[in-house]
Amino acid sequence: MLQDYELQVIKEVVSCVLILGGVTFMFIATIGLLRFPDFYTRMSAITKGSSLGVGLILIGLGIYFNQPDIMLKVLAIIAFTFITAPVAAHVIARTAVRNRSPFWSKTNLKEFKPYLDKEHLEKVKNHDMYRAEAEAQVEQKPNGGGDT
């Protein structure tokens, strides 16, 4: 009886630690989504933060319930998350490049120039309304002094 009680406490403590760690990573990723200067840095911040956060929370849940079938479901969710998150990030980043989403003013684009020239991404004039907004922001940034 005493042993069962102690096992319950150990499970709860381990689960608490894992859940708090996961929630912290998710919160940091969200702040990064709000703070970072351009689209690509935001993307690379949240891909890692959210997948690791969800993984930690779900492992905490599996350890708390401690049943084989729930552990199997948890491992399935983690596998789906870790397969789909980078694929989604890749597709969204490629769409952003094709849509001429602006880079941060400090980005070193030297090796990316041939790709942009080949795809005519700098020259084609675009009548998209989002493009006008984005260009206005890029012009404002040097005046504002940036974020350094």
Partner 1 sequence: MNTFYLHSALSFIAAYLITHRDPPPLPYNAFTAAFVFLSIFWMLWLTTYFYNRVYFRKMPKVIAFGAFFIKELIVANLKIAFDIVTPHFYMRPTVIAFPLAAKTDLEITLLSCIISLTPGTLSIDVSEDKEVLYIHALYVKGNDIEHLKHKIKDGFERPLLELTS
Partner 2 sequence: MSLFQITLTIAMAVLSLCLLLTAIRFAIGPTLPDRITAFDLIVANVIGIIAIYTEYSGNEDFLDVAIILSVFGFLGSITFAYYIMRINH
Contacts with partner 1 by CB under 8 A lie at: 25, 28, 31-32, 35-38, 40-41, 43-45, 47-49, 51-52, 62-63, 65-68, 70-71, 82-83, 85-87, 89-90, 93-94, 97, 103-104, 106-109, 111-112, 114-115, 147-148
Token output for 63: 């350890």
Angle between helices 39-65 and 68-98 (to 10 degrees): 170
Under 8 Å between Cβ of 142 and 105: yes
**Contact flag: residue 103 with partner 2 (CB under 8 A):** no
Pick one of 6, 7, 10, 98: the residue that binds partner 2 (CB under 8 A).
98
**Contact flag: residue 34 with partner 2 (CB under 8 A):** yes
CB of 56 to partner 2, least distance (A): 9
Token output for 124: 């084609």
CB of 120 to partner 2, least distance (A): 11
Looking only at residues 118 through 137 of this chain, which bind partner 2 when binding is defined by CB under 8 A? 126, 128, 130, 133-134, 137
Q: Radius of gyration (Cα) for the chain, nearest Å?
A: 22
How far apart, in whole angstroms, are the C-alpha atoms of residue 41 and residue 17?
A: 29
How far apart, in whole angstroms, are the C-alpha atoms of residue 25 and residue 55?
A: 10
